[in-house]
Amino acid sequence: MRAFVVDKYKGPLQERDVPEPVVGEGDVLVQVQAAGLNQLDEKIRAGEFKQILPYTLPLILGNDVAGTVIRVGARVRGFKAGDEVFARPDKDRIGTFAERIAVAETDLALKPASISMEEAGSLPLVALTAWQALVERGNVQPGQKVLIHAGAGGVGSIAIQLAKHLGAIVATTASATNADFVRELGADTVVDYRSEDFEQVLGGYDLVLDSLGGKNLEKSLRVLKPGGTAVGIAGPPDPAFAREAGLNPILRLATIALSNRIRRQARKLGVNYQFLFMRADGDQLRRIAHLVDTGALRPVVGRVFPFDQTIEALGRLEPGGIRGKSVISNT
């Protein structure tokens, strides 16, 4: 089976012939027809998450999949051969840059009927991130104010739509060239990050979804109202994540140290900081698929690469370089 593999951290992505996936009793074997490209793929390759995601190398990259079921394990009841599906495989079972992948039934959902395989392949990771940030963590309610950074990107373009669906008043940061685009997605206020300082023009927000980290996250805390929450997906990891991930005591202490400064700043301001590393969830994907098929959400695919160009596609994955998501197609 053809796949794209990283042999060592910071090493190049390489095409390899690899063994067929092992299909357990609760697994579904999927013919990969589309795979979304994510910054997470590049960060894994570069070794940025090797402490909290200790993969065994060589590793097939890829965190999004849309395709067709080939066969199912003995205990699978919700899917059958021929079903069109999409998923973000569990973090310990990634590998969608391949011809086939075995996915746990619990992580899988039927593909939205109204969109293409490429559009479906763009959705799982970013849509689950937006859902878990806005619905699970933020409990966003009608009339609340939500700031979503990098609104034209993969996560941002879905999060804006979801926040509007939830009834929020939405602000976003984007370049001037993307201002009309993010307004079409539902943004009420657009801050040009190249010419404006969002901290100077925004305030009183209930929730911020921050995908940039660093100084941007620190400033995000200051636009929250008392009791508001900043959900960060670029880090730093917090103690709650360390506990949920089952990190060893040394790594837990390191995680506490990494996030100590931002958590202290949040406490001083009377606001909250939470780190989110999204998880696979087939039930949530089913709800997301319903929102797509009813027109509440639409995927944003900026570019499609053929499977043969996976290495080039990962190399061209630059923050802010494309609207929405890039996708690999193997149809």
Per-residue pLDDT of the chain (331 residues; tens, 9 = 90+): 999 999 999 999 999 999 999 999 999 999 999 999 999 999 999 998 887 788 999 999 999 999 999 999 999 999 999 999 999 999 999 999 999 999 999 999 999 999 999 999 999 999 999 999 999 999 999 999 999 999 999 999 999 999 999 999 999 999 999 999 999 999 999 999 999 999 999 999 999 999 999 999 999 999 999 999 999 999 888 888 888 878 788 888 888 888 999 999 999 999 999 999 999 999 999 999 999 999 999 999 999 999 999 999 999 887 657 899 999 999 8
* Segments forming the whole domain that contains residue 234: 126-275
Tell whether 293 is covered by a domain: no
Centroid of chain to Cα 281? 12
Do 233 and 177 lie in one domain? The reply is yes
Q: State the total domains in the chain.
A: 2
Residue 256 belongs to some domain of the structure = yes
- Name the nearest CA neighbour of 179 among 201, 163, 160: 160
Statement to judge: residues 252 and 145 lie in one domain:
yes
The answer as to whether 241 is a domain residue is: yes
| Residue keyed to tokens 């559009």 | 119
pTM listed for this prediction: 0.96
Domain annotation covers residue 283: no
36 and 11: one domain?
Answer: yes
- Domain co-membership, 149 together with 91: no
- Assess whether 115 and 213 both reside in one domain: no
Q: Which H helix or E strand runs over 3?
A: strand 2-6
144 and 37 share a domain?
Answer: no
Is the same domain home to 172 and 242? yes
CB 105 within 8 A of CB 29: no
Task: Provide the token pair at 36.
Answer: 């979304």
